[in-house]
Amino acid sequence: MLNSPIDPIPLQAYLTLASLLFCIGVWGLINSRNAVRVLMSIELMLNAVNINLMAFSSFLDGDLIRGQVFAVFVITVAAAEAAVGLAILLSLYRNMITVDMESFNLLRW
Amino acid sequence: MTIAASTELICFLILGAVVVLGSIGVVLLTNIVYSAFLLGGVFMAVAGLYLLLNASFVAAAQVLVYVGAVNVLILFAIMLVNKKEELKPIKGLQLRKILSGAICLGLLSLLIRVDFTTPWNLPGPKAIGEDATERIGEHLFTDYLLPFELASVLLLMAMIGAIVLARRDVLIQDLDTEKAIDLPIIENGKEPLLIDKTSP
């Protein structure tokens, strides 16, 4: 906000962008066959949620920018998730010699 | 419309286009290396959106953590497991893609409807602007102190867990046989445990 009397970008624009990003992430999560791409889709979804948090923090929260603090925590958890997820992926690849999601059916009855 | 406002609008449109097109590319491109680099572009564009929202600290954290750490980690993982493999064709894959696409479009329309019909409490209180970094620091060391400390414990756990999960057992073998084992990073010569040997 550049202290303009009328906001050039409404809150809804940010929310719509975040919705688009989230839905693309969900589609990629369901349809990817490469396990690394699944992790990338999860990162996309986390980023969409972060955009939402930041937009609410800037438009509705005023002095208490709680959304930004939450976004910092989400970034922390996302980094931890990426590290552990990729380690699991490496271990899985070492034992199965593939990264195809359709062949990871060890837990099926 | 002032020149500042129109500049902000143009920046938002460009960043939004980069985010949406880049994420579609991440999901749809067949070459996973291109996907990873596009993912870095999407992260940078999201950091630009944070700058538009007057959140310089979180934008810097986004660039450092996502582009500098997560994206590099993903690239390393791609290089470690980058084996050309022919994916087995699966019955009904096309139908599955179309169905999930329809469901995602439905979810999208639902979310956009919520975005536009909810009566947001606008205009809210005045945004804090440049003091955001100091305020985040105050929050982290007063009322969000416990989540902050828990986050450090979580990062330690993730680090140890990642090391334990991704470690090779070469060292133990080395001590047993007292032989230098010169093996590639991933294929450690050990029989893969989980491959289904019954199927032809």
Q: Chain A contact for B101, CB < 8 A?
A: yes
Residues of chain B with Cβ-Cβ distance to A33 below 8 Å are 87
Residue B192 predicted with pLDDT over 60:
no
Average pLDDT over residues B75-89: 81
Of A45, A58, A60, residue with least CA distance to A1: A58
Shortest Cα distance, chain A CAs vs residue B161, angstroms: 7
Looking at the domain covering B1-82, what would its CATH class be?
A: mainly alpha
What is the four-CA torsion angle of B97, B99, B100, B103, rounded to 10 degrees?
Answer: 150
pLDDT, position A92: 86
Q: Which one has a higher pLDDT value, B184 or B118?
A: B118
- Give the DSSP per-residue string, B4-22: HHHHHHHHHHHHHHHHHHH
Residue B6 predicted with pLDDT over 70:
yes
Residue A28 predicted with pLDDT over 60:
yes
pLDDT, position A3: 46
Residues of chain B with Cβ-Cβ distance to A7 below 8 Å are 123
pLDDT band at residue A2 under the 50/70/90 scheme: very low
ipTM: 0.90
pLDDT, position A1: 44
DSSP annotation of B67: I
Average pLDDT over residues B103-113: 96
Average pLDDT over residues B12-21: 95
Nearest CB partner across the interface for B147, out of A54, A73, A75? A73
pLDDT, position B194: 63
Query: Where in chain A are the domains?
Result: 11-101
With contact defined as beta carbons under 8 Å apart, do A28 and A40 qualify?
yes
With contact defined as beta carbons under 8 Å apart, do B56 and A54 qualify?
no
Give the nearest chain A residue to B2 (CA atoms).
Answer: A4
Residue B172 predicted with pLDDT over 60:
no
- In this structure, of A38-52, A89-103, B88-102, the range with the lowest mean pLDDT score is A89-103
Taking the whole predicted model, whether its pTM rises above 0.95 is answered as no
CATH fit for domain A11-101, picks 3.40.50.150, 1.10.287.3510, 3.20.10.10, 1.10.3210.10: 1.10.287.3510
> Cβ neighbours of residue B137 under 8 Å, at least 6 residues apart?
none
Nearest CB partner across the interface for B54, out of A47, A58, A99? A58
Angle between helices A11-31 and A35-60 (to 10 degrees): 170
Shortest Cα distance, chain B CAs vs residue A101, angstroms: 10
Shortest Cα distance, chain B CAs vs residue A63, angstroms: 5
A98: left (phi over 0), alpha (psi -120 to 50) or beta: beta
Q: Please give the backbone phi and psi of residue B57, each rounded to the nearest 5 degrees, phi first.
A: -65, -45
Sequence-distant contacts of B57-65: CB under 8 A, at least 24 apart: B57/A68, B57/A72, B57/B132, B57/B133, B57/B136, B58/A54, B58/A68, B58/A71, B58/A72, B58/A75, B58/B136, B61/A72, B61/A75, B62/A50, B62/A75, B65/A75, B65/A76, B65/A78, B65/A79
- In this structure, of A70-84, B79-93, B180-194, the range with the lowest mean pLDDT score is B180-194
Write down the residue that tokens 């022919």 correspond to. B86
pLDDT, position A45: 96
Which among A62-66, B82-86, B110-114, B122-126 has the top mean pLDDT? B110-114
pLDDT, position B178: 62
Rounded CA-CA distance B20/A107 in Å is 35
- Paired tokens of B152: 């450090």
Residue B113 predicted with pLDDT over 50:
yes
Rounded CA-CA distance B132/B51 in Å is 12
Give the nearest chain B residue to A38 (CA atoms).
Answer: B27
pLDDT, position B65: 93
Mutation choice for A interface testing from B6, B19, B153 by most A CBs within 10 A: B19
CATH 1.20.120.1200 domain position(s) in chain B: 1-82
Number of A to B CB contacts under 8 A, please give it: 262
